[in-house]
Copies of this chain bind each other. A is one copy, B any other.
Amino acid sequence: MSGLRELLMVRPGGTRLADIDPRSTPGLPGKRVVGGDPKRWSQTQVAEMSEELNTYQERLFASAKEGGTNRRVLLVLQAMDCGGKDGTVRNVTQGMSPAGMKAVSFGPPDEQERRHDFLWRIRRGLPPAGHVGVFNRSHYEDVLIVRVHNLTSEDVWAQRYEQINAFEAEETADGLTMVKVMLHISKEEQKKRLLARLDDPSKHWKYNPGDLAERARWEDYQRAYEDALNRCSTTAAPWYVVPADRKWYRNWAVATLLRDAFADINPQYPEPDFDAAAERAKLLAAE
């Protein structure tokens, strides 16, 4: 276990985003360990962890075979635009098999989704037993953009913090391990990344003119995030704030949080329901 969780975990009521420097690198070992090049060191660590994550994923998958357990892992990523959600997903899942994953992006709800409770589509998006899920945005949008833009009345969204906690408690009691991560970038870093998008035609498809209007509400979003983080960081499903201006730190931190979550679960291959020696003999005896 790395101890990183302790450093990044949101203590209910006590977290102010303004106090967390998006360029900081909490938990990164000292200069001697990283050999003067923390970026390179982190990338090597991520490559190594990717092997570990691969093995953990296979064991989780195997342990759930034929109804063995309902264990599932879910990485939830929230961030302002350009916060690095896509890049993080790509990076931390590089060692995993798509056969054991379920990645879902939550955009504005469609017509069918709007006819249901806000958690309806979330439940449908949860990973099945033995799988690793990734949420790119999540039910937290329903207390973020919805709140900032008054998409529902306050008495509706204000109840959702408790509803989210109840939902997450129910699912974690049913075998779900949630790793909830807010990628915390600075307003300056967002500007840099938006400019980079505008300057690269192969990135135009990721740009939306509405992004500028959202950016203008930066402070409102930060307050909405703080409330979500502080009210919904529970023992069962804590929130982590990962400083994300430096991509290499962000990747290292999220991979580490995921690896530590798996280490807690420590999924095991199931006991075989056959006699390997006897099967071996049968196989050799046959053609």
Binding site for B on A (CB under 8 A): 62, 65, 86, 89-90, 93-94, 96-99, 101, 103, 105, 134, 136, 187, 191, 194-195, 198-199, 201-202, 204-207, 209, 212, 215-216, 269-270, 272, 274, 276, 279-280, 282-284, 286-287
Answer whether A269 and B201 are a contact pair too, CB < 8 Å, given A94-B94, A286-B215. Answer: yes
A284 / chain B contacts, CB cutoff of 8 Å: 195
Q: Counting chain B CB atoms within 10 Å of each CB, which of A89, A98, A207, A280 scores highest?
A: A98
A279 / chain B contacts, CB cutoff of 8 Å: 198, 207, 209, 212
Given contacts A187-B287, A195-B280, A212-B286, 17 further A-B contacts (CB under 8 A): A89-B97, A93-B97, A94-B94, A96-B98, A97-B103, A98-B101, A101-B103, A194-B283, A198-B283, A199-B276, A204-B272, A205-B269, A207-B272, A207-B274, A212-B279, A212-B282, A216-B286
A204 / chain B contacts, CB cutoff of 8 Å: 269-270, 272, 276
Q: Are A93 and B86 in contact (CB under 8 A)?
A: no
| Chain B nearest Cβ from A210, distance in angstroms | 10
Measured CB to CB, the nearest residue on chain B to A94 is B94
Q: Counting chain B CB atoms within 10 Å of each CB, which of A205, A276, A279 scores highest?
A: A205
A105 / chain B contacts, CB cutoff of 8 Å: 99
Q: Counting chain B CB atoms within 10 Å of each CB, which of A96, A97, A216 scores highest?
A: A97
Answer whether A269 and B202 are a contact pair too, CB < 8 Å, given A215-B286, A279-B212. Answer: yes
Q: Are B62 and A205 in contact (CB under 8 A)?
A: yes
Q: Counting chain B CB atoms within 10 Å of each CB, which of A101, A204, A216 scores highest?
A: A204
A62 / chain B contacts, CB cutoff of 8 Å: 205-206
Choose one: B198, B202, B283; the contact of A191 (CB below 8 Å): B283
Measured CB to CB, the nearest residue on chain B to A208 is B274
A96 / chain B contacts, CB cutoff of 8 Å: 98
Q: Counting chain B CB atoms within 10 Å of each CB, which of A65, A187, A269, A270 scores highest?
A: A269
CB pairs A–B below 8 angstroms (27 shown) = A62-B205, A62-B206, A65-B205, A86-B97, A90-B97, A90-B99, A93-B97, A93-B98, A94-B94, A98-B98, A98-B103, A98-B134, A99-B105, A191-B283, A195-B280, A198-B279, A198-B283, A201-B272, A201-B276, A204-B270, A204-B276, A207-B272, A207-B279, A212-B282, A212-B286, A216-B286, A216-B287
